[in-house]
Amino acid sequence: MNLTPDTTLPGTPKARTSRSASKQDPATPAVNPGVASVTQLSAKLAEYLTPSELKKVKEAYRFSDEMHLGQVRKSGEPYISHPIAVAEICADWKLDAQAIMAALLHDVMEDQDVKKDELIERFGAPVATLVDGLSKLEKIEFQSLIEQQAENFRKMLLAMASDVRVILIKLADRLHNMRTLEHMTAAKKRRIASETMEVYVPIAHRLGLNNIYRELQDLAFSHLYPVRYRTLSKAVKAARGNRREVVKKILESVKTTLQLAELPAEVYGREKTLYGIYKKMRSKRLSFSQVLDVYGFRVVVDSFANCYVALGTLHGLYKPMPGKFKDYIAIRKLNGYQSLHTTLIGPYGTPVEFQIRTQEMHRTAESGVAAHWLYKNGDSNLSDLQQRTHAWLQSLLDIQQQTGDSAEFLEHVKVDLFPDSVYVFTPKSKIIALPRGATALDFAYTIHTGIGDHTVSVKINNEAASLRTELRNGDIVEIVTDPHSRPSPTWLAFVRTGKARSAIRHHLRTINLNESVELGQELLAQALTSLNINPDLPPPTIAKLLNESSATSMDELYADIGIGKRMAALVARHIFGLIDDDLASLPSDQHASAGELDPVTIYGSEGVSVQLAPCCLPIPGDQIIGQLRRDQGLIVHTGDCMGAKRARGKEPERWIAVQWGTELNRRFDCRIRLLINNEKGILARVAAEIGESDANISYVGMDEDEEHVMTQLRFTIQIKDRVHLAHLIRNLRGVAGVTRVERERN
């Protein structure tokens, strides 16, 4: 049964009108009628859909065809070719009729202004909800393209959290767009390819869609670095001919050996993706000729036990490389992937990678979460893979509830999309998967947000460790909590997962509200004063401001400014536009810019809403500058801090003038570095001199050179100001055995 009597897509105008004008100039090239075949889509759907379901899909196709009539793609094909191609990809996964209908309709809301209510009436609520989750937010005005993209991703990911079919259709949509990207401008190619590599590739990997993951990687690579792609492609083709005999010899040897062992198995060679080769060359600084494992082999056996039997058989045929065996069957990857990986020394000393798996593991490896639709077994219970996916999708909702805006939400999610993982154990031997680089504190938040918030210490492999300790595969982690403990803003400097970061920021936002309100009120008052506006705003202006800013109260608005979520200068300019005409008519030379605001006074003891930057550790007497960081408040840097200079170049509007107060009744951390002769008693003499100079030592470290002649001592000391530091350094230079003393920067 075909969706239309034609065997190719309708390309000729019919006697009806379209809701939209063509997306292409009328002088577009002639349509290629063989781009996407409705007959081919019909044949795929007829394999698994019922006649009644096919009828509904046909209705969706007709509606989509009507809505897109007159539209053409950049390539010149009718626009309907794109929805059909997306539906074909979804049909390869054997997604259900609702998903296929949504794939055919996925652009009608965005391009043709079709309302969700109309889709509900025609095709039902589930299909309309899928299409709505796929539609972009074109009608809302955003402050920037970045904010718009972030909100689009947020909407898509949250829709995906309630129905994973949303992201499967979106990935199919992105795959077809990437396959046809050559008709776009160079700038648009780079932007779309970069977005694909940054967001969609890791999502495909996270869901176990390895075929799409690899193809999207290579397509994005080809548009981001076209010259490198072409060069590498030529090199691989040349190597393919040179190594053909080696591959053939290995393939025959492996098949013969497995047959002699009476192991039923499918064996075939596979080639690394171009991006995989490029990534290895970059990370390990290799030339192409040094990348020896361009080819690998996959062995698919009939049972779980035979995976290990095949492994032993292969190790008997070729010698394994030490440290190159990974058992992803016993401990599967986050996305459900299972296989045995081993690298063997093949003929002529060439390293060869083998992957050994069962047919079930192979289906999951290639189709990931989509395997749920590919191979239905009638079991209503969620598989282990589906449970893992559901848990991750649920974590998106948790992050959303704790996150202030779309950009921050996307930042947290992208952190969790990195494919590399470490696998650690709870004291009860439960396996927990975390992103590589995750710390013990990330582990605590992964178990439960309440445990993370009340963490005081950690034991790793039964030994006390720091909360910032990076975890390694196989670590046994035990968290010690205290009901009176609370998150610290310093935790944000080392946590790795989005869940931990959003939970800490959520806590800081709620617990330190009063302090943030005070800081925000001060910043807004200064910004208003610089524009010759009285900070005591009249009630009508306040009412307008709250209505247009979506804040429920001035305290909420002050708090947003205090934690860096809103810019005081921008709010002040907005207020300037709300006040009466008399004030609005002030001469332009009476208006000060945001950079001319009176400096904020810093006393060093304000708490979490005002923090001294750990990169440069400013002390009284230093020239300082303030950075408003989102959800971290005001961060104070030294004027010559290199990190501050780089950040200021990217977001100059987030920097304000600050100055030290006159009464500073506290001590400040400062780092110093000493070069000393490695001799007996030198550390004691240095420590004694620091104490006699009325300074406290909070940290000491030592770096020795290979000859043990000179040693570098690093101290973090607590002092009053620059004068106190100068006095201390002068005294340390007089200690016997000290050859150099300097303040350590950045």
Q: Which H/E stretch holds residue 115?
A: none
Please give the order of strands across the beta sheet that includes 477-481.
463-465, 455-460, 477-481
- Assess contact for 29 and 183: CB atoms under 8 A: no
Query: What is d(CA 236, CA 496) in angstroms, rounded to the nearest whole number?
Result: 37
- CA 543-546-547 angle, 5° bins: 85
Catalytic pick from 6, 92, 110, 327?
Answer: 110
- Residues 693, 323: Cα–Cα separation, whole Å: 53
> Where does 280-370 show beta strands of DSSP type E?
295-301, 319-320, 326-327, 340-345, 351-358
Angle between helices 384-402 and 498-511 (to 10 degrees): 30
Closest residue by Cα to residue 602 from 521, 673, 553, 660: 660
> For residue 177, what is the DSSP state?
H
CB distance 444 to 479 below 8 Å = yes
Q: How many CB atoms lie within 10 A of CB 545?
A: 17
CA gap 637, 626 in Å, rounded: 6
Phi, then psi, of 630 in degrees rounded to 5 = -60, 120
**Tokens at 504, concatenated:** 């800490």
- Closest by CA position to 310, among listed 266, 247, 346, 248: 266
CA pair distance 492, 470, nearest whole angstrom: 14
Structure-token match 């992105």, residue found? 174
Residue among 129, 37, 56, 156 at smallest CA distance from 96: 56
According to DSSP, the residues that pair with 352 across neighbouring strands are 344
Write the DSSP assignment of 513-541 as a string of letters.
HHHHHHHHHHHHHHHHHHTT--SS--HHH
Asked if 220 contacts 196 with a C-beta cutoff of 8 angstroms, the reply is yes
Phi–psi pair at 676, nearest 5 degrees:
-130, 160
Q: Where are the beta strands (DSSP E) in 197-293?
A: 265-271
| Dihedral pair phi/psi, residue 480, rounded to 5° | -105, 125
Residues 6+ apart with CB under 8 A from 399: 409, 412, 413, 498, 499, 502
Residue 28: count other Cβ atoms within 10 Å of its Cβ.
Answer: 15
Is 111 among the residues known to form the active site?
yes
Q: What angle do CA 76, 78, 83 make, to 5 degrees?
A: 125
At residue 4, what is the residue type? T
- What tokens does 391 get? 């848990």
Among residues 65, 77, 111, 515, the one annotated as catalytic is: 111
Please provide residue 729's backbone torsions phi and psi, each rounded to the nearest 5 degrees: -60, -40
Residue whose C-alpha is closest to residue 60's, from 15, 111, 8, 118? 118
Q: Are 518 and 525 in contact (CB under 8 A)?
A: no
**What's the DSSP call for residue 599?**
P
The encoded tokens of residue 126 equal 């589930």
8 Å CB contact between 172 and 41: no
Query: Which spans in 563-705 are helix H?
Result: 568-578, 581-584, 642-650, 682-692
Place of tokens 């406290």: 696
Active site residues: 110-111
